[in-house]
């Protein structure tokens, strides 16, 4: 099904001003009982879902990092080694803010469209030396061979929920919730609950540069979160950790009200989910106490004025 985000291809996402760009039409079909479940990229789903819907499954995460796809004439280079003033295409404020700061010799311009369109724009015109895309999308399409470089967290942290697929269902459909719940990947669920709680508490969205990095290591959940000014010159970045205890718990009655940042995962330890959500909120509060609100407010105003 096509969505607003698929149809409006001449405007940067952060400028359209609609929170549910890639989800609204799908949710309408879900509401009208025309479909029983819809599959999204989790990063397209707002941190607060419309009433009556829930995320019934978060699948095992694909590589969440961003990838550099070079114009054929630059094959073999990296962002570091591209000539001065090379133009890089990305319509993500988050990517542009981080990369401008890190690679000040490059220029960044908006590029919109689905993967095919963007790759075509890159290959057939001389406008861009490279474009930045989510590695997950390229891999799912079987286009791994186009990935010239994967950007690690020191170069570019990813978007909340990036690389994970989410299955959205009607919150009252207990049987469908039960059916899709087997698709939940526990580590991904906890990481994404922490990331979404962080973003929701910061009140971030498409129109502000917010980035995260999470990992589960030795049963500790680590969350790094950052906010940036549009040109990346101003930023705040912090890391916190918690220890989510992952144990199987008996299946309880699914409580429609019991969602964490839109996710219903009744088979994963409630305590572990609570800790993950708390971690996101605590990290957001830490950044807010250091001035994150001001950075994001200015970023939002500047973006609106562009």
Indicate which residues carry an active-site annotation: 44
* Dihedral sign for Cα atoms in the order 63, 65, 71, 75: negative
In whole angstroms, give the CA distance from residue 160 to residue 214.
10
Per-residue DSSP letter, 52? T
Contact 69, 146 (CB under 8 A): yes
In whole angstroms, give the CA distance from residue 108 to residue 228.
16
Number of neighbouring beta carbons within 10 Å of residue 7:
9
* Dihedral sign for Cα atoms in the order 195, 175, 253, 60: negative
Contact 193, 258 (CB under 8 A): no
Contact 225, 210 (CB under 8 A): yes
DSSP sequence for 199-266: HHHHT--TTS-EEEEEEEETTEEEEEEEEE-TTSSSEEEEEEEE-----B-PPPPP-TT--BTTB--T
Contact 77, 178 (CB under 8 A): no
């Amino acid at each position: 099904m096509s969505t607003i985000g698929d149809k409006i291809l001449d405007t940067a996402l952060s400028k359209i001003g609609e929170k549910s760009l890639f989800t609204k039409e799908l949710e309408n079909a879900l509401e009208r009982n025309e479909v029983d479940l819809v599959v999204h990229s989790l990063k397209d789903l707002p941190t607060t879902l419309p009433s009556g819907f829930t995320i019934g499954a978060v699948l095992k995460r694909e590589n969440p990092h961003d990838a550099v796809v070079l114009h054929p004439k630059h094959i073999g280079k990296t962002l570091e080694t591209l000539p001065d003033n090379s133009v890089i295409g990305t319509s993500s404020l988050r990517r542009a803010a981080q990369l401008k700061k890190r690679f000040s010799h490059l220029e960044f311009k908006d590029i919109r469209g689905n993967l095919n369109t963007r790759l075509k724009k890159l290959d057939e015109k001389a406008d861009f030396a490279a474009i930045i895309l989510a590695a997950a999308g390229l891999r799912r399409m079987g286009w791994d061979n186009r990935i010239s470089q994967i950007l690690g967290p020191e170069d570019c942290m990813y978007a909340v929920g990036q690389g994970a697929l989410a299955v959205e269902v009607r919150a009252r459909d207990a049987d469908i919730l039960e059916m899709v719940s087997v698709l939940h990947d526990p580590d991904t669920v906890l990481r994404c609950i922490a990331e979404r709680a962080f973003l929701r508490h910061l009140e971030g969205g498409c129109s502000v540069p917010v980035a995260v990095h999470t990992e589960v290591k030795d049963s500790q959940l680590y969350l790094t979160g950052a906010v940036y000014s549009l040109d990346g010159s101003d930023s705040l970045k912090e890391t916190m950790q918690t220890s989510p205890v992952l144990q199987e718990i008996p299946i309880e009655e699914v409580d429609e009200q019991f969602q964490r940042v839109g996710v219903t995962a009744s088979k994963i330890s409630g305590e572990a989910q609570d800790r993950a959500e708390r971690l996101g909120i605590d990290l957001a509060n830490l950044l807010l106490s250091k001035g994150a609100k001001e950075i994001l407010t200015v970023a939002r105003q500047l973006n609106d004025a562009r």
